[in-house]
Amino acid sequence: MMQMPPKFSKRQLLLSIGKTAGAATMYQAMTALGFAAESDYKGSPQLTGAPKGTRVLVLGGGLAGMTAAYELRKAGYAVRILEYNPRAGGRCWTIRGGDVYTELGGATQKCAFDPGLYINPGPWRIPYHHHAVLDYCKKFGVRLEPFIQVNYNALVHSTKAFGGKPQIYRHVQADFQGHTAELLGKAINAGALDEQFVPEDREKLLDALTRWGGLTKDRTYGPSLQSSLFRGFEVAPGGGLMPAQKFSTPMDYKELIASGLWKRISAGQDIEFQSSIFQPAGGMDMISKAFEREVKTLIRYNTKIVKIHQDDKKVRVTFKNSDGTGQEQTETADWCVCTIPLSILSQIPLTVGPAMHAAINAVPYGSSVKIGLQFKRRFWEQDEQIYGGISYTDTPIQRIAYPNSDYGKPGKGVLLGAYLWEGVNAYEFTAMSPAQRIRKAVEYGNLLHEQYAREFDNGVAVAWHRVPWVNGCYGHWTDPMREKHYNNLCQIDNRIVLAGEHASFIPAWMEGAVLSALDATERLHQTIVATAKTA
């Protein structure tokens, strides 16, 4: 009796695809199965028929709050924003020289970067398919420039492989493809795939592998013109009486596989990071400042919310100055869009139903640490010809990202010296003082660039669980958590609706915050209009 193959669930199938074919292929499969899609943005909502004199209070002046306020005011509502910080933008934040930041626990940093240099502690790139953010950038005149996600001259590093010596990204990429192509070609020639291919197609596949892997005419991978055109030459072609070109020697395949470095080179294939990717010229807060210009007259800054109460007719919000001075005050409106992060909202007395309460309290916030380091010169460009892009390492700092602008500019430069995302290392760095985080970033970075320690000038370190207005990086949903709480979180509870990246399927991205705000705004408007008709 023929044994039937085991049945795969969709989740098992996706995991299998991801392990064998990589994240990009898995994402395509997710889209085909209805689990993922590009940003579902179809333009600003067309809100008509707003009841005259209706007041809406927006809590939080991040991108979600400002998006909601902008669209609601445009529709004819009287809008007011209450914002904790002396600036708008929330996590869409840039730190420059002279800025002062105090984290939970009282540690204060004064950034000493040179004029024109900065670090983005929060979002730092905009994928090409985040249509809503890109559309508002166009609408508000935010100038964008390329963000270099993949630089084949950047580094891939493991302390456990190749004697701890960093490897050039293109060497890992070319050698992994080349050796794999040679092995697969041998398998095809040995008849291993005869059942899958007719002879003509088998030859086409062999030709494709030859080109893809940089193989020689006899379909082997080694020192050759073909492989050197991918991985680079030991002695590059020159002119005149310069030394003759010399082919480079690929890494040993077994050592490359054992190193695990090949895991890092797939990052740029994820759909979020496929070119083109963008950044605002001059810092990520160019986006928040553009929004702020549109709604600035609506914002009350330095405002800490202490209580949110609603009944059948009004929403009443109690607040005080963020620095603790002054008396408690109240603001009343007909409706409310609340974009306060759940990590903060869960600490505020709030009149909503038990389902929304449970959802607010259920979502933890992920950990992340970013460290900006200023150096006396742009040695990564001058010494190593690394212009933008990201180097990866198995040390706790995880990645180093190089600036994507002002290439070749003399003087000092700032790079992202660490980007810790989740895991034990992120929590460990969060527990450190800012000075310790910076010192560790320099220490680990020195394993990739021997110039680090002697060229280091100063730095600034942001651990998101210590950021007072968020207490975390982003809403960290799990699948069971979404199934139980997500719809309840997004419902309009009497006169209050929530919005923000935590109320989206694109958490941790600006696009999620903006789309959530647009959806909440449109649904709230429909509810307001319907309520007015029945009043």
* Domain ranges in the chain with CATH number 1.20.1440.240: 169-259
- Going by the DSSP 8-state scheme, the letter that residue 486 receives in this structure is I
Q: Is the Cβ–Cβ distance between 82 and 345 less than 8 Å?
A: no
Read off the pLDDT of residues 34-53 as tens digits, 9 standing for 90 and up. Answer: 333 456 788 889 999 999 99
Indicate if the pLDDT at residue 512 is higher than 80: yes
Residues 277, 281, 285, 287, CA torsion sign = negative
Strand 100-102 relative to strand 335-338: parallel, antiparallel, unpaired?
Answer: unpaired
Indicate if the pLDDT at residue 26 is higher than 60: no
Indicate if the pLDDT at residue 294 is higher than 70: yes
* Domain ranges in the chain with CATH number 3.90.660.10: 95-153+276-283+366-466
CA dist., res. 458 & res. 374, Å (int): 5
Read off the pLDDT of residues 225-248 as tens digits, 9 standing for 90 and up. Answer: 999 999 999 999 999 989 999 999
Three-state SS sequence of 105-161: CCCEEECCCCCCCEECCCCCCEECCCHHHHHHHHHHCCCEEECCCCCCCCEEECCCC
Q: Percent of the chain scored above 90 by pLDDT?
A: 84
pLDDT on residue 533 = 86
Topology adopted by domain 55-89+298-363+476-534: FAD/NAD(P)-binding domain (3.50.50)
CA dist., res. 197 & res. 517, Å (int): 51
pLDDT on residue 1 = 35
Indicate if the pLDDT at residue 23 is higher than 60: no
pLDDT on residue 74 = 97
Q: Is the Cβ–Cβ distance between 215 and 181 less than 8 Å?
A: yes
- Listed residue (45, 54, 50, 51) closest to 335, CA to CA: 54
Indicate if the pLDDT at residue 169 is higher than 70: yes
List Cβ neighbours of 406 (8 Å cut-off, separation of 6 or more): 116, 413
CA dist., res. 146 & res. 280, Å (int): 9
Read off the pLDDT of residues 106-148 as tens digits, 9 standing for 90 and up. Answer: 999 999 999 999 999 999 999 999 999 999 999 999 999 999 9
Q: Percent of the chain scored above 70 by pLDDT?
A: 93
Read off the pLDDT of residues 200-212 as tens digits, 9 standing for 90 and up. Answer: 888 999 999 999 9
Read off the pLDDT of residues 246-260 as tens digits, 9 standing for 90 and up. Answer: 999 999 999 999 999
The continuous run of DSSP H or E covering 457 comes out as strand 456-463
Residue with tokens 């067309």, as numbered in its chain? 46
pLDDT on residue 8 = 39
Q: How confident is the model at residue 65 (pLDDT cuts 50, 70, 90)?
A: very high
pLDDT on residue 266 = 83
CA dist., res. 414 & res. 238, Å (int): 33
pLDDT on residue 534 = 87
* Domain ranges in the chain with CATH number 3.50.50.60: 55-89+298-363+476-534
95-153+276-283+366-466 under CATH 3.30.2350.10, yes or no: no
pLDDT on residue 197 = 79
Indicate if the pLDDT at residue 504 is higher than 70: yes
Mean pLDDT to the nearest integer, 284-292:
98
The continuous run of DSSP H or E covering 404 comes out as none
What's the CATH number of domain 169-259, 1.10.3720.10, 1.20.1440.240, 3.40.50.1000, 3.30.450.40? 1.20.1440.240
Q: What is the pTM of this model?
A: 0.89
pLDDT on residue 16 = 44
The continuous run of DSSP H or E covering 471 comes out as none
Strand 95-96 relative to strand 78-82: parallel, antiparallel, unpaired?
Answer: unpaired
